[in-house]
């Protein structure tokens, strides 16, 4: 999508759940959305949900069976959630988790989940910040964001919304990103993609021959370059960059093979 990211709302979504696995029957028990543009006072909405089953993760979020018993079901809250997400760019931290519950709950309700662009702030943080941990708590502490009550949906959604705009500001200070650029910037390579890239780089190092890569900078722009790999250490690649004429350290998740 060629629309400027800075001309749309970000809608930060967060679920609290009975557990971690939709495949094992876990359900959503709280949902929240914080929506707006940078510099605005965002819309905030949250709701407790009756999952129709026991809450097994009270020690994480503090939500008890008594708190959700008799609350509206997800199906009853779905129309409001759809309105909060429609026309926005959805943002979530570790987005696959929330999207999995979103799609599962809409499916159980016999409804289609809203089709919207998605930005994963976990992937965005890994590209923009050099931190030992990219957990929501660690990023908020680094950026000076008050997380409020951790593991409650509205406070976590608010923290994610604040964090997303700060990270995007750092990645795109000139505000040139389109929605499509931002989606690429936030995308996290899957295990198979990382395995293929890692094996190619290790093979190039063994042969001591240059390899051509596309390397995506923090602003989502990619440059094609030839590198001679010295060493692959975890998620980092030490190599001589023929484009820059110097030794550099490259991040594995920003490398694409040509």
Active site residue ranges: 151
Tokens at 174, concatenated: 């000139």
CA distance 256 to 91: 24
CA distance 12 to 3: 19
Q: List all residues 6 or more positions away from 149 whose beta carbon is below 8 Å from its beta carbon.
A: 62, 155
Q: List all residues 6 or more positions away from 231 whose beta carbon is below 8 Å from its beta carbon.
A: 205, 237, 238
Would you say 101 and 22 are in contact if contact means Cβ atoms under 8 Å apart?
Answer: yes
Would you say 112 and 103 are in contact if contact means Cβ atoms under 8 Å apart?
Answer: no
Would you say 127 and 253 are in contact if contact means Cβ atoms under 8 Å apart?
Answer: yes
- Collapse the DSSP code of 15 into the 3-class scheme (helix H, G, I; strand E, B; otherwise coil) and give the result: strand
CA distance 76 to 138: 35
CA distance 254 to 128: 11
Q: How many CB atoms lie within 10 A of CB 177?
A: 20
Q: What are phi and psi of 122, to 5 degrees?
A: -65, -45
């Amino acid at each position: 999508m060629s629309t400027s990211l800075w001309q749309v709302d970000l809608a930060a979504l967060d679920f609290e759940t009975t557990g971690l696995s939709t495949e094992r029957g876990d359900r959503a028990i709280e949902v929240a959305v914080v929506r707006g543009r940078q510099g605005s006072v965002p819309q905030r909405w949250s709701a407790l949900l009756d999952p129709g089953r026991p809450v097994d993760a009270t020690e994480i979020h503090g939500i008890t069976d008594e708190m959700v018993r008799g609350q509206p079901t997800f199906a009853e809250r779905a129309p409001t959630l759809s309105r909060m997400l429609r026309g926005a760019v959805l943002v979530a931290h570790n987005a696959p988790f929330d999207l999995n519950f979103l799609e599962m709950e809409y499916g159980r309700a016999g409804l289609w989940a809203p089709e919207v662009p998605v930005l994963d702030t976990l992937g965005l943080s890994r590209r923009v910040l050099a931190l030992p941990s990219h957990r929501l708590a660690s990023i908020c502490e680094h950026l000076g964001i008050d997380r409020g009550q951790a593991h409650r949906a509205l406070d976590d959604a608010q923290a994610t919304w604040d964090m997303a705009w700060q990270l995007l500001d750092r990645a795109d200070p000139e505000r040139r990103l389109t929605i499509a650029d931002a989606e690429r910037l936030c995308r996290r390579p899957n295990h198979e993609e990382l395995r293929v890239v890692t094996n190619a780089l290790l093979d190039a190092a063994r042969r001591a021959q240059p390899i051509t890569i596309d390397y995506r900078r923090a602003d989502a722009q990619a440059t094609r370059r030839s590198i001679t790999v010295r060493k692959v250490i975890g998620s980092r690649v030490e190599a001589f960059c023929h484009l820059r004429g110097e030794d550099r350290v490259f991040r594995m998740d920003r490398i694409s093979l040509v």
